[in-house]
A and B are shown apart, each in its own frame.
Chain A
Amino acid sequence: NAGVMQNPRHLVRRRGQEARLRCSPMKGHSHVYWYRQLPEEGLKFMVYLQKENIIDESGMPKERFSAEFPKEGPSILRIQQVVRGDSAAYFCASSPGLDSDEQYFGPGTRLTVT
């Protein structure tokens, strides 16, 4: 039973480019969460999605960041016009939903903006 998969594991972008981070949840999981870990900071919630729905995006920066979880395919976190401050590790977690709050994390994508 494969765990949560994220790709790419490492991503280098120049300032102004777009970054697309992908997350495939565990089999049977319909809920996806994105978290960001900035250097010298803890993990911060960004967005919570179910299939085709954004449930809670209270942790998303107001500009340049968007997320989706389509009916088919992985969840995508998209960062437009990246800046150096976007350099961080981005983690995806999934859960079965319903009453379970147990979240299983992927290995993360480490984004470096040069």
Chain B
Amino acid sequence: AQSVTQPDIHITVSEGASLELRCNYSYGATPYLFWYVQSPGQGLQLLLKYFSGDTLVQGIKGFEAEFKRSQSSFNLRKPSVHWSDAAEYFCASSGSARQLTFGSGTQLTVLP
């Protein structure tokens, strides 16, 4: 069975600082991997996805993620965080069953 782990429940960074959110997956084959962002009371917005090919994936809002098979990781990064990035971030995977398996989420707080 698939599983996705986000080890950090809550992360606080200062505006302008760099950001890395961790995600580890467990799946027999290479899964499809996604990062979503959820603002309070809102739905989920897709930031980026990895299906195959280049292991460094560029997304919207200046985010990128790197797929590392050897570490079963798909960490999300941003070089300079903006106050509007404060939200909850979810890593997710899907396989042959198509349904998404989500991590428990990481709440990001941005300090002025």
Q: Which 4 A-B pairs have the closest CB atoms?
A: A105-B44, A45-B99, A107-B43, A43-B102
Q: Is the interface of A mostly helix, strand, loop or mixed?
A: strand
A residues whose Cβ falls under 8 Å from a Cβ of B: 4, 31, 33, 35, 41-45, 48, 55-56, 59, 91, 93, 95, 101-108, 110
Known: A91-B44, A101-B32. A59 touches B99 (CB 8 A): yes
User: A43, B32: Cβ atoms under 8 Å?
Assistant: no
- Chain B interface residue count: which class? 20 to 34
Alpha-carbon distance between A56 and B45 when the two chains are bound, in angstroms: 23
On whether A101 and B43 interact (CB within 8 A), knowing A42-B90, A42-B105, the answer reads no
Interface residues of B (CB under 8 A from A): 32, 34, 36, 41-46, 49, 51, 90, 92, 94, 97-105
Please pick, from A48, A59, A91, the residue contacting B98 in the complex, using a CB distance under 8 A. A48
A45, closest chain B residue (CB)? B99
Instruction: List A contacts of B94 (CB < 8 A).
Output: 101
Interface centre among B41, B98, B101, B105 (most CB of A within 10 A): B98
15 residue pairs from A and B, CB less than 8 Å apart:
A4-B43, A33-B99, A35-B100, A42-B104, A48-B98, A56-B97, A56-B98, A59-B99, A101-B32, A101-B98, A103-B46, A105-B43, A105-B46, A108-B42, A108-B43
